């Protein structure tokens, strides 16, 4: 089943002679059960592309369907509601809320989707225990290591069981062993036959976890082989 279908989508910043084409007519299909890596140099349009796929940014041309839903047919409120229910985010800088403890951070997406707070926190605790954070339930994110914060961010990204998870450089600040642990979680705990994961990365150490890799350059997806970590 198709999770994502983008056809000829274009995103520009600015206008006229100063316009910058961040995404230049990209075509992309991602299926359920697939972990896709988007790789490429800084400034190539990778983060813009996943922001378009997630409905955070709007595009000027083309179409993007996510699980059959066309963003161009939604107003802002409908987009927000769709994202809230169907998309999970894992950010490079974690984006955890410092004044909330680990359990409360993970509970946020559930509460936003109307789950009563005590039940949301119960589900959050259960998920954190699955990710070996049982002894960190009441701890502030500031007191966690980078790997623990990323596991916490992953838990928050899929606690509400979204169909699509987008990750922006999830291993950028992590050492090799911790980065592998994070990818193991995404691949073996988070990815299901009904869900898709799209990861933007510069990190060749995690290429082996992908079902498919696409390379982005100058706003375009370029189909070319990417060497495995053992060859780098």
pLDDT digits (tens, 9 = 90+) for 84-100: 999 999 988 889 999 99
Nearest Cα residue to 50 out of 11, 78, 21: 11
CA-to-CA separations, 151 to 35, 77, 159, in angstroms, rounded:
18, 30, 12
Cα dihedral angle (23, 24, 25, 26), rounded to 10 degrees?
-50
Per-residue pLDDT, 64: 94
Give residue 232's pLDDT band: very low, low, confident or very high (50, 70, 90).
very low
Judged against a pLDDT cut of 70, whether residue 104 lies above it is answered with: yes
pLDDT digits (tens, 9 = 90+) for 175-198: 999 999 999 999 999 999 999 999
Across the chain, mean pLDDT equals 92
Nearest Cα residue to 183 out of 118, 90, 48: 90
What's the whole-number mean pLDDT along residues 66-72? Answer: 93
CA-to-CA separations, 139 to 81, 129, 145, in angstroms, rounded:
30, 13, 11
So where are the chain's domains?
2-226
10 three-class SS: strand
CB 214 within 8 A of CB 36: yes
Class of the CATH-defined domain 2-226: alpha beta
CB 219 within 8 A of CB 45: yes
């Amino acid at each position: 089943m198709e999770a994502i279908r983008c056809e000829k989508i274009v995103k520009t910043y600015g206008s006229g002679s100063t316009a910058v084409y961040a995404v230049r007519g990209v075509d992309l299909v991602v299926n359920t059960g697939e972990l896709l890596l988007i790789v490429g140099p800084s400034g190539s349009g990778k983060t813009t592309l996943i922001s378009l796929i997630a409905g955070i940014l709007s595009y000027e041309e083309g179409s993007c369907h996510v699980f059959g839903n066309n963003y161009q047919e939604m107003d802002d409120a409908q987009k927000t509601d769709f994202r809230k229910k169907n998309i999970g985010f894992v950010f490079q800088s974690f984006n955890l809320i410092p004044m909330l403890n680990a359990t409360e951070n993970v509970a946020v997406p559930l509460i936003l989707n109307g789950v009563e707070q005590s039940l949301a926190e119960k589900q959050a605790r259960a998920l954190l225990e699955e990710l070996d954070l049982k002894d960190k339930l009441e701890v502030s994110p500031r007191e966690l290591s980078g790997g623990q914060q990323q596991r916490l961010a992953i838990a928050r990204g899929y606690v509400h069981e979204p169909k699509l998870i987008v990750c922006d450089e999830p291993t950028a600040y992590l050492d090799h062993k911790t980065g592998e642990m994070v990818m193991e979680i995404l691949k073996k705990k988070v990815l299901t036959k009904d869900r898709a994961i799209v990861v933007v990365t510069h990190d060749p150490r995690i290429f082996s976890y992908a079902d498919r890799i696409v390379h982005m350059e100058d706003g375009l997806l370029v189909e070319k082989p990417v060497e495995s970590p053992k060859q780098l």
